[in-house]
Structure 1
């Protein structure tokens, strides 16, 4: 039954018998020995049928005749499309490359070929999705969803959200803070604000100092004075900055629940734990901050990671230009 299904998957064209037999053996191997799911097998059959058609059209009658250039040409065809097939995205083309690489690996192992021409061929890299940021107005609405009242957990929640947006911290970094990690500088004698600093322990145990402004500082002051002592009273004296109702350190799941509840309260959708971090970076770059400064604030090891945010701001610039410039629309005079 399995062999018959495999045959059905590759027959119907004029492919050389050697190619058909190799693909049939590989599909049987995947079905019987590897136990691949029916849907996965169906996708592999479809991808390999197209690969066999491509090889046949280029004069290859056996896998032993295939060269690396044949495979890279097939990948290029997948991405560009042809009269009978639409172009494939990186994920779909990548799946086909995995099937082709597996076929050639199987052929080498079974002695059908003496080399693997697909060994150095890599699947296309999927386009990295741009980080999702929300507008300043939405940030203010989100934080404003947490009322400044004398409830300890509400004061804690507001301080948490202000700190996440005010510093671009990861949620894991925020809940890992101790009280001593916050340096709350007093207001200067002339009445101006002094920038406070928080010490984060980031990925790989790397420390970084990040300044934060008046909104986050006031929220943290309110929490430390009017809320944290009440929460700590039921605990065991943890040094953690953000505490749960039992006096223990707030968990990542607890912090995520705070963010989710605030977003639901004001009707914001698709707000994730990283949304405020993305918004922090995007708004800094929109305001003219240097990308390397933002890199340091976020704790990225490479500036390349940070540069993805510049794509967000460029998209925003395009939108503003198209909506605002009197000659942005490509409309010829007199039309």
Structure 2
């Protein structure tokens, strides 16, 4: 069997038997098609551990990040495991291959509280001084503020925000239902009155009876506000204010870090972020070194000692 034929079978398996999400399937397509380009003339039983070694080496040569390389290898492992399970190959070449790929431990990039305050102050100033509050431009501004407020209030992922449905927000109760990775559901409450009032205003502006779109955040064409559009929106205000590069994920990191600095138990933060493992959340304990220094300078009992002559 050719590699191309085997890949078609694997894609069918991922789509209809494993029932993977469309986003995962797109990622699989990219990685498996890249592998196909390299070995398109090969029969599957002829691909050896040495071919796989060369392929991984090429990924390094093309300067892919370790995280990306690990993902591409994980897809290939799933592919060859499938081939072995279906007895399309006798031996999985990955069984004879030892790979140790260690990612550099980078702390998540966050926004400082004062930076978030600058962004929101700017946006509310634009909103409060908008001359024509019946215009579509005003509606879009309110939507932008709502997007940022939800990012900061809940620590939601940009994909979760973009795909948020109208029926998943109960403004009266201040509750947002989020379906995260692996379709795991979590509930987050919004308690700030200003944010809740903004959500009510947005709902009146966008969610009229004529609007049959199920998504909560909409673009100018009445379609859901896409992940890329949310990123572009943030970069627009970043340029206006002359700030450093801002991404939606930085609000998620800031949400976790600032709550941790306020003494919130890490397990509550884990639950709010939708992390399956506490070890994923624990990275934020390393980010709070700056806050720790402030606390020790201000609160440590040793500060009252003075033995200098």
Q: State TM-score, norm by structure 2.
A: 0.60
- Superposed CA offset, 1:271-307 (max 9, x none): 1120111111111111111000000000000111011
> Aligned to 1:223, what secondary structure does the other structure show?
helix
Partner of 1:238: 213
Higher normalized contact order (CA 8 Å, seq sep 6+, divided by chain length): 2
Given candidates 136, 143, 150, the residue that maps to 1:163 is 150
Taking the aligned partners of 1:205 and 1:220, their CA distance within structure 2 comes to 25
Deviation at 1:165, TM superposition (A): 0.3
Q: 1:210 is matched with which residue?
A: 188
- The alignment covers a number of residue pairs equal to 211
1:78-157 equivalences under 5 Å are 122=100, 125-146=102-123, 147-148=126-127, 149=130, 150=133, 151-157=138-144
SS of the residue aligned with 1:274?
helix
Deviations 1:223-263 (A, max 9, x none): 1113454xx96xx6211100000111111111111111122
Q: Distance in 1 between matches of 2:97 and 2:148?
A: 48
1:269 match = 244
Q: 2:230 matched to which residue of 1?
A: 255
Distance 1:167 1:268, change over 3 A: same
Pick the structure with greater CA Rg: 1
Does residue 299 of the first structure (1) align with residue 299 of the second (2)? no
TM-score when normalising by structure 1: 0.56
Question: How far did 1:320 drift?
Answer: 5.1
Aligned equivalents of 1:269 and 1:133: distance in 2?
11
Instruction: Tell me the distance in 2 between the aligned counterparts of 1:228 and 1:155.
Output: 13
Q: How far apart, in 2, do the equivalents of 1:302 and 1:199 lie? A: 20
2:89 aligned residue: none
Mapped contact 2:235–2:245 kept (Cα < 8 A): no
CA deviations 1:174-222 (Å, max 9, x no partner) are 111111111112xxxxxxxxx6110011001111101112232122111
Q: CA deviation at 1:315?
A: 3.5
Q: CA RMSD in A?
A: 3.2
Q: 1:40 to 1:131 in 2, by over 3 A?
A: closer
